[in-house]
A and B are shown apart, each in its own frame.
Chain A
Amino acid sequence: MTRPAPLRALLLPLVVAAPVLAGLAYSLMAAFGLTGFGGGAPGPGRVARVLAEPAVHASVGWTLATALASTLLATGAAVATSVALRGRARLDRLGRTLATLPLPVPHLVAAATALLVLGQAGLLARLGAALGLVSGPADMPALVYDRAGIGLVLALAWKEFPYLALVASSVLATRGARLEEAARTLGATPAQAFRRVTWPVLRRGLAPAVVAVFAFVVGSWEAPRLLAPSAPLHLSLLTYERYTDPDLARRADAFVLAVVALALAGAAVALHEWAARRRDDLE
């Protein structure tokens, strides 16, 4: 049993959390018409109306689906890369370095790059035209502003992959390597060692980072702004659209949607905490 943290240790986390807590409090008050503009009568009327809108349901569903797809894609790629390149040889190290290259690229630049590459007049389309595969922009399959969100998912996955790969590689390097060697020495086959030792270590170490990526992606604005279709509208775009609605009375809708986005991210965190606690209890 570790001793409880002294109260003063809470100071820094509190300072860091303060803007978010203040923002949440203000958003809740504005959503219920207790402050801010466009309130109408205080009460749950606005929240009920916004949460009943089909456009909001479509937006939440689409945002969750694309966030889940891009998080899974990035996670799968990060796991595969970190496992394949977990050795200490030069090639492994080179591969791990290459995988982190997109890390410093700003999200806006990643999205703009995706637009230049995947757009119907983009690099891929021009390459296709040069090879005689497509004859014009309209011929090129729609990979941006598409209802499937392919361009958005690819761009987000590409941008989040290096962070997850970095975490996965360091988890394996600090915790996986020795245990795996021990298992092999004790007679486990490579497949057994991976299934019983490497994968469980990786899964537990990587899970918080995956949840963080999911929460970030749900709230991302730049990539959807440049790559997502106009229907269903990504939750962050819908929030901003309401915040700047020509009709003043609808602007406070944005605060309801902001709380919804925060709840989605919070739900992912809570789910992870619950699963981790349950696992700890079982062991």
Chain B
Amino acid sequence: MHARADRQPQRRPRPARAAVAAALLLATACGHRAPPGAADLAAVPWDTVVARARGSTVTWRMWRGDPSVNAFVDGWVAPRLAATYGITLRAVEGQGPVMVNQLLVERDAGARGTTDLLWLNGETFHNLRRAGLLARHWAARLPAAIAVDSADPTLTSDFAQPTEGDESPWGRVQFALIFDTLRTPDPPRSVAELAAWIDRHPGRFTHDQGFTGTAFLKILLYALNGGPAPFAGGFDSTRYAAGAARVWAWLDRHREAFWRGGRTWPADVADLHRLFANGEVDFSMSFNQNEVVTKVRQGILPASARALLLRDGTIANAHFLGIPAGAPNPWGAMVVADFLLSPAAQFEKLRPEVWADGSVLAPGRLGPAWRARFDSLARVANALPADSLARYARPEVDPRYGERLAADWRVRIRERP
């Protein structure tokens, strides 16, 4: 499809196209100048960037599904941006694939962009960059980027795609299972132990059909094929087929003992959390090892809930901020991205009572005062220790592995109950 989009002229005078364009224009009518060229974003002096951002509005398209994240963005970030830069932050709903669709339709319609900043990673980043919808090479020039932990490959590569400064790191997370120490005092610690546990406790385990469930499938893919190494170096359909066959065999062997006999699956991880909290299953999972800490604080999960890393390895990745190529206000977006990278914003975000989302800064690159504050957060009683997180962390591979796993799971597992 990208080849087609590239081949064709950007605007074709088609009635439907014109109608869509008109609708989008109506929806966004306000007087912005044409978006600046991508080269400008890296070249313009920072003082000029800040001056242009002053008094502007930044529309940030992001997943709005977690009240903790929303409270951080609306209640902590927005007022500080307003006070420091006079920037009005508008955080609006737009999860990965929906965001990609919106940007594609806007471009197809030749409409002015409606988005300045995106929260993204993985296949969203891959899809947007491949379609030429992202501003490029701007992230490294943010003043706050100096403290980014650039030694960590998860921050310089997103799902094995070198970011090349096309997105700015925002948070680091690691996949973990969630269990209840009262219900399951001796939980399984590896994929093999998990399989045995599932068989002994029929109906008490499942994964969801969303993005967290796909991450679990990727963890199975690694665990059953000796780690991520066979899948490194880009997508290879032969290696995928051989690796995925082991995942389907594993699921076929144990799905009878899954929740509801492996014939139906929770739609997303929020549904899985609910089943876990209701006592209908004994495990949930999260692509943030600290989610259990915040959810316990909020009373959504029982106080005895804890996170657990499988010894076969769990996926660690990062999430990022991007700027659409057609953003009406890339200057404001850069200032917001810079602010979100500041030690103050990264620290606030890491606090367990706020969001407990991992910092992307290297403690060694911070001043002693900030280092001490970050250190003080390192030990939260029910959080996983940093050394085990590092020991079991595994990198992401090419996003097409996850895409294929999700698509094939639907046909191979879900549609054959």
A residues bordering B, Cβ < 8 Å?
22, 25-26, 29, 35-41, 54-55, 58, 119-121, 137-138, 142, 145-147, 225, 229-231, 237, 243-251
Contact = CB atoms under 8 A, between A and B. Distances in A.
Nearest to B278: A121
Contacts of A37: 1, 5, 101, 104-105, 108
Contacts of A55: 410-411, 415
* A25, A41, A251: residue with the most chain B Cβ atoms closer than 10 Å: A251
Contacts of B108: 35-37
A248 B414 CA distance: 21
A72 to B, nearest CB: 24
Contacts of A29: 16
Contacts of B17: 35
A137 B98 contact: no
B1 A121 contact: no
A192 B263 CA distance: 50
The 10 A-B residue pairs with the shortest CB-CB distance in the complex, in nearest-first order: A121-B278, A244-B97, A229-B264, A37-B104, A246-B403, A145-B264, A230-B265, A38-B1, A137-B280, A138-B203
Nearest to A142: B260
Nearest to B209: A230
Nearest to A249: B1
A146 B406 CA distance: 22
A147 B265 CA distance: 12
A243 B108 CA distance: 17
Given A147-B417, A229-B264, A248 B105 contact: no
A121 B280 contact: yes
B157 to A, nearest CB: 19
14 contacts: A22-B16, A26-B20, A35-B17, A36-B104, A120-B280, A121-B275, A230-B265, A231-B414, A244-B95, A246-B402, A246-B406, A248-B131, A249-B1, A251-B101
Given A147-B264, A231-B264, A246 B123 contact: yes
B65 interface: no
Contacts of B414: 230-231
B16 to A, nearest CB: 5
Interface string B84-109: 00000000000111101100110010
Contacts of A35: 14, 16-17, 108
Given A55-B411, A121-B278, A230 B267 contact: yes
Contacts of A147: 263-264, 417
A250 B1 CA distance: 10
B200 interface: no
A251 to B, nearest CB: 6
B4 A39 contact: yes
Interface in B199-234: 203, 209
Given A37-B5, A230-B209, A247-B403, 20 more contacts: A35-B14, A35-B16, A35-B17, A36-B105, A40-B1, A55-B410, A119-B280, A121-B279, A147-B263, A230-B414, A231-B414, A231-B415, A231-B417, A243-B98, A244-B98, A245-B407, A248-B100, A248-B127, A248-B131, A250-B407
Nearest to B261: A142
A38 B17 CA distance: 16
Contacts of B390: none
Given A40-B4, A121-B280, A225 B267 contact: yes
A14 B289 CA distance: 54
Contacts of B100: 248
Contacts of A121: 275, 278-280
Contact of A39 (B1, B16, B209, B410): B1
A219 B263 CA distance: 24
A41 B279 CA distance: 50
Contacts of B415: 54-55, 58, 231
Nearest to A229: B264
Contacts of B29: none
B196 interface: no
Contacts of B14: 35
Nearest to B406: A246
B42 to A, nearest CB: 27
A55 B414 CA distance: 10
Contacts of A237: 267
A250 B209 CA distance: 17
Contact of B101 (A22, A243, A246): A243
Contacts of A248: 1-2, 100, 127, 131
B279 A245 contact: no
Contacts of B4: 39-41
B39 interface: no
Nearest to B402: A246
B19 interface: yes
Nearest to B280: A137
A249 B105 CA distance: 14
Contacts of A230: 209, 264-265, 267, 414
Contact of A119 (B131, B278, B402, B417): B278
Nearest to B2: A248
A245 B14 CA distance: 27
Contacts of A225: 267
Interface string B378-417: 0000000000000000000001001100110011001101
